[in-house]
Structure 1
Amino acid sequence: MLETPGRIEPCFFEEHIPAGLADLLIDIQREAAQLGQGLHPDSAAELADLVRVMNCYYSNLIEGHNTRPRDIERALAGAELEEETRPLALEARAHVIVQRAIDEMHETGTLPRPTSGEFLTWVHRAFYDEMPDEFRVIEHSDGTREPIIPGHMRQDGGKEVAVGRHLPPSSSRVAAFMDHFDKRFQIAARSSSGRIIAIASAHHRLNYIHPFPAGNGRVSRLMSHAMALTAGIGGQGLWSVSRGLARGLTDRGEYKRMMDLADSPRRGDRDGRGNLSEAALKTYSEWFLKASLDQITFSTKLFDLAGLEKRYRRLVEDPVDDKRAPDLISAVLRHGALRRGDAQILLKTSERTARNTLGKLTSAG
């Protein structure tokens, strides 16, 4: 088995960007720039918190863990959970907490380089620090159990792993592979097009290295989220890369098949100059970016202000028996916030009537 870091090459397309990928880059940048246009920043931030729950739901679904969004929200609120749903809900809560921290670091300009060991070990540590005890241990096929140490990559002397047919680098070589991984993707990040394409290729190459004993899939999806932010296509946090990977373009099995395809070895002299197939990397990257574009387009329509306002108005019409309530909720959506005292002015009614309308809305959640 090749144990030199060059085993993960090619990491990206250095000589020229394939035409299909170049077209996708333009479409992604255009759609991402339109996402959330017209929304007040405060409203966009509130909606982004809902998208985090969706991102987490689909990320867990990829792992075979089906957690209801309602249970995720209850876990985030600190509510008491049913014993049978508690572990999965707390696992989901951990994902949301880490993604929220990533978004805050990006907002404040303190987000580390997403492909760096510093960032990836922090993600793993922050995620597993929040995990329930049930999910902080690995059960091996030979019946032995190994505790998961938050933030620790596989090291010399550790148990070797296999992912389906794929045999990742030996534990003793992980540090060298990760150093090479970060250096190569620093080069990719020097151009705007490279930063976007690298989201796809880094996602696969990190999982190919499999640096952690467990949790690599979740870490890679959170890395992809962070890379989208730094590439300028984060769309205010209003789209979910995990939803695209979990759903695929035609069926839910595409993600696994495409990741397996990108494992393919070089197929001959016309298939690049690395250990792995450049043609397979191109096919996989096109799929990954098409899935991302599909989600950005979906979210652009979902968060169009006019359509969003109509849905919010309908949302309150049934549970709130007050014809003024939709007007009040529309104002909050458009302005991001509303002083309680301004409800009377907005609704053009008495202070008491406005207070009653506001009370019905808050009581309904």
Structure 2
Amino acid sequence: MGETLETPGRIEPCCLEVVSEEISGLVAMLAARSAKLGARLRPKTAAHLADLVRIVNCYYSNLIEGHDTNPRDIERALGGELAEEAGRRALQVEAAAHVQVQRAVDGMAAAGRLPEPASVDFVRWLHREFYRDVPPDMLHVGNGERPFEMEPGAFRTRPEHDVVVGRHVPPSSERVDDFMRHFESRYRFASMGPDTRIMAMAAAHHRLAYIHPFPDGNGRVARLMSHAMAHAAGVGACGLWPISRGLALGLSSHGEYGRMMDYADTPRQGALDGRGNLSLRALTEFSAWFLRVCVNQVTFMDALVDPDRLRERLRAYVERDERLRPEAGLILNEVLSTGEMVRGDTARVTGLTEQAAGDLLGTLTDDGILASDTTMGPVSFRFTVHVAEILLPGLLPQA
């Protein structure tokens, strides 16, 4: 590889030199719709829905990597219930690690402690946290002449770490650190305005994958970084939309993500195609596609959690379960309106006797749609995979 292409400038352009009307519109749309989504639900309800969104994000991120992990298995793994079969158990451990990293990112964002999402330290932290507790065989990389054990959080540094990804030859391992320092400087949010941050999400996603800083796990890290960037750019909507679902499904076909990432690898095509090593036209089209995917997912989730539509599905939820009295709908609507309900209010809300109201609430908690943080604490919604299949149609794959 030529010396010129082994300089960090190889990933330029990192940002769009001219912002098209289409991209300006997508940025404005994403900002507006994510703000609307973030305000749709009561904080307690939103927090528990975010728990489910992490499972959705994990499922689709793994699917992109060719690992079809059943959402129920992910949920079981988070509860400590692992399969006996080794391969299935390994996928559960991998999935649980993804969810836990995303939960940590969401927690930092909610507390206002999220670091620069494109910083070297944060990118390495994402990788280290993801791989920290996985089985040793998941750290084994390569089946050819030079297999090695990957160190969680460590960039490629040795010749045996050099890789080829499809048609793309990433920077050699000895130069990864220089490339990542350049990456950090070009995508530092502290120096960007709100709109620029949103646009940078797309470009940074591709350029991190282009550098391929780790021996393995780069796709997952890039998608987790993009999730963090959405928070830092002000479009995270309390963690209520799953970016990996959009990337996996695409806008018209499941293969779009790979094709668009490959297209963004295109070298500069002449004097009218920007001033960097890579094609500005390809980066612009990739950015527009990526932002359309984001808008698509935010719009989908906003329609899914529209309170009026949720109430209709809650009514259907009650009607389909012969164990539930019609008054169960009154309880569920009260929790939807207030975020949580004191147990002692059940009789008042339903008009039933204390005993009948308590029994009805017990059936709802046994079913898993309502729960409390303490034995006798207020109840709030819990969006288990079972509940989601009824209340949030289309969010998860068909069972």
TM-score by length of 2: 0.88
Contact residue 82 and residue 92 of structure 2 kept, 8 A = no
Alignment pair present for 1:135 and 2:145: no
Alignment pair present for 1:342 and 2:337: no
Letter in 2 for 1:110: R
SS at match of 1:150: coil
SS at match of 1:11: coil
Contact residue 43 and residue 334 of structure 1 kept, 8 A = no
CA distance in 2, matches of 1:5, 1:219: 20
In structure 1, the residue matched to 2:314 is 312
CA distance in 2, matches of 1:152, 1:74: 30
Letter in 2 for 1:26: A
Residues 313-338 of structure 1: CA distance to partner in whole angstroms, max 9, x if unpaired?
A: 32243333322222212222222211
Alignment pair present for 1:232 and 2:247: no
Match of 2:365 among 344, 362, 365: 362
In structure 1, the residue matched to 2:50 is 48
Contact residue 53 and residue 72 of structure 1 kept, 8 A = yes
Deviation of 1:143 after TM superposition, in Å, equals 5.1
Contact residue 59 and residue 221 of structure 1 kept, 8 A = yes
Letter in 1 for 2:135: P
Deviation of 1:122 after TM superposition, in Å, equals 0.6
Deviation of 1:301 after TM superposition, in Å, equals 0.3
Identity over aligned pairs, percent: 51
SS at match of 1:35: helix
Residues 309-362 of structure 1: CA distance to partner in whole angstroms, max 9, x if unpaired?
A: 222332243333322222212222222211111111211221111111111112
CA distance in 2, matches of 1:98, 1:315: 32
Contact residue 102 and residue 111 of structure 1 kept, 8 A = yes
Alignment pair present for 1:94 and 2:93: no
Deviant stretches of 4+, over 3 Å = none
Letter in 1 for 2:161: K
TM-score by length of 1: 0.96
Contact residue 29 and residue 233 of structure 1 kept, 8 A = yes
Letter in 2 for 1:112: P
Deviation of 1:260 after TM superposition, in Å, equals 0.5
* Residues 17 and 188 of structure 1: CA distance in aligned 2, closer, same or farther (over 3 Å): farther
Contact residue 36 and residue 304 of structure 1 kept, 8 A = no
SS at match of 2:148: strand
In structure 2, the residue matched to 1:328 is 331
Match of 1:285 among 284, 287, 292: 287
* Residues 37 and 168 of structure 1: CA distance in aligned 2, closer, same or farther (over 3 Å): same
CA distance in 1, matches of 2:335, 2:186: 46
Alignment pair present for 1:178 and 2:180: yes
Residues 97-144 of structure 1: CA distance to partner in whole angstroms, max 9, x if unpaired?
A: 00000000011111110000111111001000132334222123x254
Question: Which stretch shows the higher mean deviation, 149-158 or 118-127?
Answer: 149-158
SS at match of 1:163: coil
Deviation of 1:205 after TM superposition, in Å, equals 0.2
CA distance in 2, matches of 1:268, 1:28: 32
Alignment pair present for 1:26 and 2:28: yes
CA distance in 2, matches of 1:361, 1:128: 37
Contact residue 106 and residue 238 of structure 2 kept, 8 A = no
* Residues 286 and 189 of structure 1: CA distance in aligned 2, closer, same or farther (over 3 Å): farther
SS at match of 2:22: helix
Residues 63-119 of structure 1: CA distance to partner in whole angstroms, max 9, x if unpaired?
A: 011011111101111124241521112211111100000000011111110000111
Match of 2:271 among 253, 269, 272: 269
In structure 2, the residue matched to 1:12 is 15
Residues 9-67 of structure 1: CA distance to partner in whole angstroms, max 9, x if unpaired?
A: 000124x3122211111111111111143411110111111111111111001001101
* Residues 160 and 286 of structure 1: CA distance in aligned 2, closer, same or farther (over 3 Å): same
CA distance in 1, matches of 2:119, 2:239: 22
For residues 93-172 of structure 1, what are the structure 2 equivalents within 5 Å? 93-140=96-143, 142=144, 144-172=146-174
SS at match of 1:10: coil
CA distance in 1, matches of 2:332, 2:133: 34
Contact residue 40 and residue 336 of structure 1 kept, 8 A = yes
Letter in 2 for 1:75: A
CA distance in 2, matches of 1:354, 1:160: 64
Give the total of aligned pairs. Answer: 363
SS at match of 2:6: coil
Q: Which runs of 5+ in 2 are unaligned?
A: 369-399
Residues 182-204 of structure 1: CA distance to partner in whole angstroms, max 9, x if unpaired?
A: 10112685111110111100000
* Residues 189 and 106 of structure 1: CA distance in aligned 2, closer, same or farther (over 3 Å): same
CA distance in 2, matches of 1:172, 1:149: 16
Contact residue 318 and residue 326 of structure 2 kept, 8 A = no
Letter in 2 for 1:259: M
Match of 2:296 among 294, 300, 305: 294
Alignment pair present for 1:254 and 2:222: no
